[in-house]
Amino acid sequence: MKARTMARIQRDETPHTAWCARDHRCGLDEHRSAAKVVAGGTGRAVVTRVRAGDVEYAEVHLRIPLSRREDTARTQLATLLRLLGQLLDAVIARPYAVPGRGERPAISRRAA
């Protein structure tokens, strides 16, 4: 009796994009651009463009120094969360803004 102890995984190759780094940053099923760093004061943001499957997205890492005073640090975090919410609202494409997508009647219909 033969037993297979390791599955053979086969994946379709995903072609490199014009913007990907074409090196170790690209994995089996995703492609990554070189990181772009924006620094101001003592904080910084690192942005990487990623394609995973057929979806592209931006990956953002932030480093923001917080005050040593607890109440000031909490205020900074609250401001950060509020502004991040506004940023997401401003940059994320909404389905109703995409041409060809209209009202989805099943969503507004009441349950039976």
pLDDT of amino acid 109: 66
pLDDT of amino acid 105: 62
pLDDT of amino acid 82: 96
pLDDT in tens, 70-101: 999 999 999 999 999 999 988 887 766 556 55
User: Running DSSP on this structure, what letter comes out for residue 54?
Assistant: T
d(CA 50, CA 34): 10
Neighbours of 15 (CB within 10 A): 7
Strand 55-63 versus strand 36-40 pairing type? unpaired
Neighbours of 73 (CB within 10 A): 13
3-class secondary-structure state, position 86: helix
pLDDT of amino acid 63: 94
pLDDT in tens, 3-61: 555 666 665 666 777 888 777 777 767 888 888 999 988 899 999 999 887 888 899 99
